[in-house]
A = this chain, B = another copy of it.
Amino acid sequence: MAREAFVTLATNDRYCEGALVVAQSLRRHKTRREIVVLITPQVSTICRSRLSVLFDHVIVVDVLDSNDEAHLALLHRPELGVTFTKLHCWRLVQYTKCVFLDADTLVLTNVDELFERNELSASPDAGWPDMFNSGVFVFTPSMETYNDLIKLADTDGSFDGGDQGLLNSYFSEWSTSDTSKRLPFLYNMHSTATYTYSPAFAQYGKDTKIVHFIGFVKPWNHKYDEKTGEVTQVEGPGIHEETLVKQWWKVWAEVQGLEGMRKTTTV
């Protein structure tokens, strides 16, 4: 039978917290697909053991880095060169189809219907909507695609220094291809869109399927009061809708309660 999986990525212990929430948010909505996390060698042993509680497979890959300081400076995100590591997901050829989810996403409902779509299906990026956002996408593992992507990274690099620029150059026909490749924005609802166009969020936001906490500040950077359930957002560029950040922390609390997690310290 065809094997299909959700895949995420964490190159360090902070992003592992996000990955745990991604997995738990899929499980609580009863996904029928496998769940896989790619990690790099620097992830600690304790985090690996926690990941193994929620993921079907924890797979160690090499760090891939664009080392493209010039383009990353344009993006004001020097840390994102390492997102080239995401390319390893195409090597998961034991699966016939996968859905990649950034570690800073939160699944709000069962989204297994995504596996009916084909490579490369993704939602528009709110910053430049003729590009897709690479935080959520449907893909087909293939060593040939992997090698092509690595070659393109070598020859042309990425115009934003991260995986999103590279993937948009490679799958450049996305914006003009048929609409089945265009996932609704609700599958990758940028948590900042609630401020840039709040009437649209008020109208459509209740049907959000996957939230994506884009930007430098992530939910795990905020302060959460376990007793009151209140979140205090840290200062920083881009601010997330508070109700969404609270939902992230609610799922984090569930993760903490799971058998096998208790032996570790909290965030």
* Contact partner, A125, options B161, B176, B197, B204, Cβ 8 Å: B197
* Contact partner, A127, options B123, B130, B184, B193, Cβ 8 Å: B193
Look across to chain B and name the residue whose beta carbon is closest to the beta carbon of A159.
B203
A235 CB to nearest B CB, Å: 18
Q: Are B74 and A161 within 8 A (Cβ)?
A: no
Q: Are A202 and B129 within 8 A (Cβ)?
A: no
Q: Are A198 and B129 within 8 A (Cβ)?
A: no
- What are 8 A-B residue pairs whose CB atoms fall within 8 Å in the complex? A71-B199, A126-B127, A127-B193, A130-B185, A159-B203, A160-B200, A160-B203, A176-B179
Known A75-B199, A130-B184; further 8 A-B contacts with Cβ < 8 A? A74-B198, A123-B129, A124-B130, A125-B197, A126-B129, A131-B200, A159-B199, A160-B203
Q: Which residues of A contact B (CB under 8 A)?
A: 71, 74-75, 123-131, 159-161, 165, 175-179, 182, 184-186, 193, 196-204
